[in-house]
Each structure stands twice: as structure tokens, then as C-alpha cells.
Amino acid sequence: MIKTIDKKDYMPEPAKDTRKLAIISVGEDKASKVYLNNKAKICNELGIGAVIYNLPKWSTERTIIDLIQGLNERTSIKGIIVQLPLPKHLDPINIVNFIDPNKDVDGLTFTSIGKLEQGLDCHVPATARGIMEFFEHEGIELEGKKVLIIGRSQLVGRPLQKLLLRENAVPTTSHSYDKDLLESIKNYDVVVSGIGKPNYIQEEHVKENQILVDVGISKVEGKIYGDITDKAKEKAKLGTAVPKGVGVLTTVCLAKNVLESKL
């Protein structure tokens, strides 16, 4: 069964105070612009003012860092994100780590990553959080379940592994360099794929009682595809749609991180 996700099932209560989210966008990446519009729309619905800073592609690291440091000092700004990917001449790790950890609603600073590793309270990357909320909403029991995470990014794969361990799941992380990847998929109860390879996992690679969470998004000839084919999802017990799947949860959970900011 293919599951589409209705954001209304996951939307929190609107903000009771005036909160603002600062989004820094560098360049003209079309996919990023779509995400920005979706983030701004949901934030506005929840009473969060999304302020988008559009910087030209040739902006220097110093320019971006100066902007971040200014936003760190503004009390009305409760969250700051840098829209990724950045142009190749910029170092995303260096830039992101100038964000005040209390305003790091993407959960990407060294402080946030370290707290997550140690099981401490912190902002969790929105996609990883969204996947965990999906499991909870659908009543999917994770304890003792073998979970394959395909992808090792700091936005999805790495934080998701830590969150699954908290629920006593048994996660394994793999990636596109695994030569036996497709042959191993049937060995798992749950598969989360986020490597951005359109229709990579097909019907013959999955089994009927699996849960398939598709985090991959690719655009081919104007159409959006996930990592997992629809036929594979129909064969499995449950598979998330692309689009109108985990991407919806990512945006909602980003807004939740802003609402839950203790500043």
C-alpha cells in the first residue's frame, strides 16, 4: 500500500508569541526554492514569520557568516537555517557552525550533533524526526525490528540511526557504494532509502511484509521520482509516497523545532 501524508495529521498548535525563522538561501537552485516556499507556507500557518534572505551565488563565506552573527543577536529570531546545498565554493560545515546552537533548528551544528549522540535534548534534523513521527503515527512497533537505512547524510541517515537505537530497533546503515545492497534489502523489516537514485529499488528487491520509507527525491524530465518504485511499495505492507510523503513531514517538523525553541 502506498501511503500519502496529510500535514493536518501532524500539525502542532500555532505559536502563542511572535516567532521568526530566518532562512538563508544562496544562489538559484530550483529545488531549494520549492522547499523554501513550502517551509514559508507552513510556518506562516503556524504563526511563525519566515524571513528569507536571498543571497547571490557568488556571495563569500564572510558575507554569510556576518549575516548569521547578526541574526544570532536578534531576539525575535528563534531559528536559523542555511538552505543546502550551497554553491561549491562555500564550506557548509564552517558556515553552519556559526549559528547559535539554540537557534540551530536544522540540528546541524557540532553542538546539536554531539547532544543527539549522547541522548540529550536538542533540535533533531527535521527529516529524521519526521520519519520517527511517521512510525509513531502509523503504530509501527520498532523494538527489535531490523531497519536498513540507505544513506549516511547528517540530515537523515546518521541522526535517524541514533533515534532508532533509542527505540531499541536494530539499525544498519548502508549507501550507494554497497555492491550487495539490492540483494540484502529483503533481510530487513523496515527500509528507509534516501540516496536520490530514481526507481532504484524495484519490486523484486522487496518482500510483502516490509515497511518502505522513501526519502529520495529526483527529477527526471519534469517528473518527481523516489528511490523506490510504486510497484515495490504496492507489494510491501506499506510504502510512503513521493511526492506527498516524508517531504511533508520534514517541513512540519522544522516548524515544530522553531515552536519548541526555548529562546
What's the confidence (pLDDT) of residue 31? Answer: 63
| Residue 247 burial class via C-beta count within 10 angstroms: exposed 0-12, middle 13-18, buried 19 and up | buried
What's the confidence (pLDDT) of residue 20? Answer: 95
- Domain covering 126-248 in this structure, CATH number: 3.40.50.720
Residue 248: pLDDT above 70?
A: yes
Q: Where in the chain is the domain with CATH 3.40.50.720?
A: 126-248
Q: What is the pLDDT of residues 137-172, one digit of tens each?
A: 999 999 999 999 999 999 999 999 999 999 999 999
Q: What is the pLDDT of residues 182-207, one digit of tens each?
A: 999 999 999 999 999 999 999 999 99
What is the rounded distance in angstroms from the CA atom of residue 14 to the CA atom of residue 20? Answer: 13
Residues marked active site are found at 39, 83, 106
Task: Say what the pTM is.
Answer: 0.93
Hey, what's the torsion of the CAs at 217, 220, 225, 227, to 10 degrees? Answer: -70
Q: For residue 9, how many other CB atoms are within 10 A of its CB?
A: 12
Q: Where in the chain is the domain with CATH 3.40.50.10860?
A: 2-111
What's the confidence (pLDDT) of residue 91? Answer: 97
**Confidence tier at 37 by pLDDT (50, 70, 90):** confident
Q: What is the pLDDT of residues 124-136, one digit of tens each?
A: 999 999 999 999 9
Which is the CATH superfamily of the domain at 2-111?
Leucine Dehydrogenase, chain A, domain 1 (3.40.50.10860)
Peptide bond into 243 cis (omega under 30): yes
What's the confidence (pLDDT) of residue 135? Answer: 98
Q: What is the pLDDT of residues 64-88, one digit of tens each?
A: 999 999 999 999 999 999 998 899 9
Residue 29: pLDDT above 70?
A: no
